[in-house]
Amino acid sequence: MKRNRPDIAAALHRFYVAARGHFGYTDRWWPGTPVELTVTAILVQQCDWTAAWKAAKRLRDAGLLNLRQMAESDVAALAELIQAVAFPRQKAKRLIDIAGRLVTGGFGTIEDVLESGSTEQVRQRLLALPGIGQETADSIMLFAADRHETFVVDAYARRLFQRLDLLDGCDQGFWRLPYDRVRRFFLDHITDSLPLYDGLEVAADVPRSVALLRDFHAQIVELGRHHCRKTRPRCVESGWPGWADEDGDFTFCDNHCSQNGCMACPLADSCAASKSWTLNATTTNKSNN
């Protein structure tokens, strides 16, 4: 498939406008300082964001969100603080290893790492750390720094666009391509078509492309967790409740679908899977009657 197809760029723009019209926009979708965001991105692997964010805050309250202090931590003690996440001991050891390597490499803070070179150089530096894969590296770069253009290809993105009948030529096989091929597809079509988004307000304190890429990921995640769920998607129903956060740190769309009377996914009309499920449900109801 050729890059930068105008029809693909226009379709991605339509997707974004529809999702944003449904969920709204916020400058700070993912809360926290750069080190809090980085630790949460590492801890969230194979578990819920709520648990990862709670664990990161416990590390913060214990004074351990500091590379040198974390590098010198005891595995068992750190694992106790993050016990709410999946595989706490494994992740505790991973955090200690990562902090140790960065300190040995001359970095005093996460910010130092994220400012240490070009986007590709920083990305490769993160990928060289134990337990940090491409999705985690891109999440850290996009949200913990204000200068890196990248795109996060998570399970939500692959599932959404496999189901949507929006992008001509992108069949089921396309969404199973290697991570970086899909990342470049989104990144190229969005950043090379920024004028399409000129009428939409985004955060003014970061480069416009970065703000847009952040919110594009946010809209995909919100759509995936509220409506386009892995099983029993809520295509023509009120969306599933959002993440729980008793401290109120995550304020964007936490009660959106359960409180505002939303009755359907904003992309249901463009979703081939939704049409199939709706038809099957109607046929089943008729046969039961």
CATH of the domain at 224: 1.10.340.30
Task: Write down the pLDDT at residue 246.
Answer: 65
Q: Is 5 exposed, middle or buried (0-12, 13-18, 19+ CB in 10 A)?
A: middle
pLDDT at 286 over 50: no
Task: Write down the pLDDT at residue 4.
Answer: 80
Cα torsion 143, 145, 146, 147 to 10°: value is -120
* Its pTM surpasses 0.75: yes
Q: Is residue 260 part of a domain?
A: no
Q: Is residue 273 part of a domain?
A: no
96-100, 163-167, 206-210: lowest mean pLDDT where?
163-167
20-29, 123-132, 147-156: lowest mean pLDDT where?
20-29
Q: Whole-angstrom Cα distance, residue 76 to residue 249?
A: 28
Q: How many domains does the chain have?
A: 1
Q: Is residue 191 part of a domain?
A: yes
25-29, 109-113, 114-118: lowest mean pLDDT where?
25-29
Closest residue by Cα to residue 175 from 234, 139, 166, 196: 166
Q: Is residue 176 part of a domain?
A: yes
Q: Is residue 141 part of a domain?
A: yes
Domain of 169 in residue numbering reads as 1-231
